[in-house]
């Protein structure tokens, strides 16, 4: 963001009165002091912090209190206030020159790549090479790159249901055998399990390194059966890389890896995993508040696997469909799709791939409870009790391997308590939520935890909620 405002100098940031105001998140006092001692007008403060001048005026007059963590981060970044002064983690720009970063190109590297196996290998090589050498400045730019939506996204995926194009044979002969592929598939499964348990991007570079090695092996002339399995491994690794990038806040990069995963599954002839990738892309669109795009992606997936999907995969796709309907306010359609998910999961079927084994009764309860929670924000007493019931069911049934989901469940249950005005329950469940979140590195978990913060802010909140506020701030500051 180009703020047109010079950073606050050390004399201003060193003032005791400003430090106290920032520490207490008293932005009425903070903005007043910044106006006085830094010489910034309300308009300049508004421009820097991506706020309207009217909103800044209301904050200074005490008519509006800033409680949103995302707004507090914008204030920190816009006015170049170190994160520690606001109870935040160090901001990406701290310790760097203040020169603006060059703009990020909107075009994604996978937009114009033909749906041919050799082109997919080239795409994998391009993505992993650029990602593995990502420096801090490039990473900061990548964080600001938004995911592609609408027609530009949907049209680029049309090749998934078409036959793969012919590809020239590589000149170099590969030497991979069945044992090598067994080891690669085991590694891909281990990375996926680690991401499901802990989230975050601490092992993302390891996944990218393995993905790069697989791409290099596919650039050689392997046996046809080995090659097919290699594309399957590349699809699995790309899917894990996508969720790790998403968890790290790299929305566009996550989308690039999702699309690589879809192309790899296409080259492997694995339509079921391709549908799973589309469901992941739909979830990303739902979290970005694009439910219509998400619904189109889910329908695309359902069309591809209508006659071959097992009970768990069908149920999972129905929950994505229900999620989209809930986000669009279509409550009857949400209830219908949720019921179909339950029916599908209870039906018998053949053994399904390992990557869908996570979707069980606990996952169904957790996902359904999360969607009811979204509805409860506009109708607390109509939906919060049911949401809390389903989320508690998920908490009772999940295993320790689902660390990220476990944390998200506690956060959702805490919000249900806040919506119902249960102060004691809210304080207790928030403590559990913070404890569970501390065991993950998931950016999504921390983002959801930040949504609880506004419930704990106010001049007359009870003591237990003030303690909950401090717990949230302490964790988000690490």
pLDDT tens-digit map of 368-379: 999 999 999 999
Q: Are 322 and 341 in contact (CB under 8 A)?
A: yes
DSSP 221: B
pLDDT of 348 over the 80 cut: no
d(CA 431, CA 67): 19
Tokens representing 109 are 């590297």
- Eight-state DSSP code of residue 288: T
Measured distance CA(117)–CA(200) in Å, rounded: 30
Give burial (CB, 10 Å; 0-12/13-18/19+) of 462: middle
Confidence of residue 103 (pLDDT cuts 50, 70, 90): very low
Report the mean per-residue pLDDT for the chain. Answer: 85
Within 10 angstroms of residue 200's Cβ, the number of other Cβ atoms is 19
Tell me if the pTM is above 0.85. no
* The two three-digit tokens of residue 411, written as one number: 């956060």
Type and span of the H or E element at 55: helix 53-60
Arithmetic mean of pLDDT, 142-171: 73
Tell me the C-alpha distance between 197 and 358, whole Å. 11
What is the share, in percent, of the chain residues with pLDDT greater than 70? 88
> Among all chains, which residue has been given the structure tokens 């010489």?
39
Mean pLDDT of 140-159: 76
- Residue 360 is classified by DSSP as S
Task: Decide: 152 and 256 in contact? Cβ < 8 Å.
Answer: no
Above 90 in pLDDT, residue 241? yes
């Amino acid at each position: 963001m180009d703020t047109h405002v010079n950073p606050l100098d050390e004399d201003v940031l060193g003032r005791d009165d400003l430090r106290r105001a920032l520490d207490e998140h008293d932005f009425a006092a903070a903005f007043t002091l910044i106006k006085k001692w830094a010489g910034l007008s309300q308009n300049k403060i508004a421009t820097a912090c991506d706020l309207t001048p009217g909103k800044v005026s209301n904050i200074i007059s005490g008519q509006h209190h800033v409680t949103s963590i995302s707004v507090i981060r914008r204030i920190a970044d816009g006015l170049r206030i170190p994160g520690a002064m606001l109870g935040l983690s160090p901001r990406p720009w701290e310790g760097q020159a203040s020169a603006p970063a060059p703009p990020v190109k909107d075009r994604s590297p996978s937009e114009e790549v033909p749906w041919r196996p050799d082109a997919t290998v080239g795409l994998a090589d391009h993505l992993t090479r650029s990602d593995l050498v990502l420096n801090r400045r490039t990473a900061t730019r990548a964080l600001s790159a938004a995911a592609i939506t609408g027609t530009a996204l949907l049209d680029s995926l049309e090749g998934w249901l078409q036959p793969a194009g012919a590809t020239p044979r590589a000149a170099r002969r590969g030497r991979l055998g069945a044992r090598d592929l067994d080891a690669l598939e085991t590694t891909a499964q281990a990375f996926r399990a680690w991401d499901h348990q802990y989230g975050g991007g601490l092992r993302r570079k390891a996944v990218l390194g393995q993905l790069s090695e697989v791409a290099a092996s596919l650039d050689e002339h392997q046996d046809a059966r080995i090659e097919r399995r290699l594309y399957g491994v590349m699809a699995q690794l790309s899917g894990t890389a996508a969720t790790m990038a998403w968890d790290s806040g790299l929305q566009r990069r996550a989308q690039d890896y999702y699309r690589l995963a879809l192309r790899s599954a296409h080259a492997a002839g694995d339509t079921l995993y391709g549908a799973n990738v589309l469901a992941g892309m739909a979830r990303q669109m739902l979290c970005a508040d694009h439910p219509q795009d998400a619904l189109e992606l889910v329908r695309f997936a359902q069309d591809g696997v209508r006659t071959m999907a097992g009970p768990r995969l069908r149920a999972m796709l129905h929950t994505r469909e229900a999620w989209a309907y809930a986000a669009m306010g279509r409550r009857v359609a949400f209830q219908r799709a949720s019921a179909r998910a339950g029916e599908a999961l209870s039906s018998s079927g053949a053994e399904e791939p390992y990557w869908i084994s996570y979707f069980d009764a606990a996952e169904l309860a957790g996902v359904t409870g999360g969607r009811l929670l979204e509805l409860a924000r506009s109708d607390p007493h109509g939906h919060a009790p049911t949401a809390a019931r389903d989320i508690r069911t998920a908490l009772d049934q999940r295993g320790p391997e689902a660390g990220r989901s476990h944390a998200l469940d506690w956060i959702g249950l805490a919000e249900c308590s806040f919506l119902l005005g249960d102060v004691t329950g809210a304080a207790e469940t928030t403590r559990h939520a913070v404890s569970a979140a501390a065991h993950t590195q998931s950016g999504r978990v921390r983002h959801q935890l930040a949504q609880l913060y506004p419930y704990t802010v106010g001049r007359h909140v009870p003591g237990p909620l003030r303690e909950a506020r401090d717990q949230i701030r302490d964790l988000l500051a690490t």
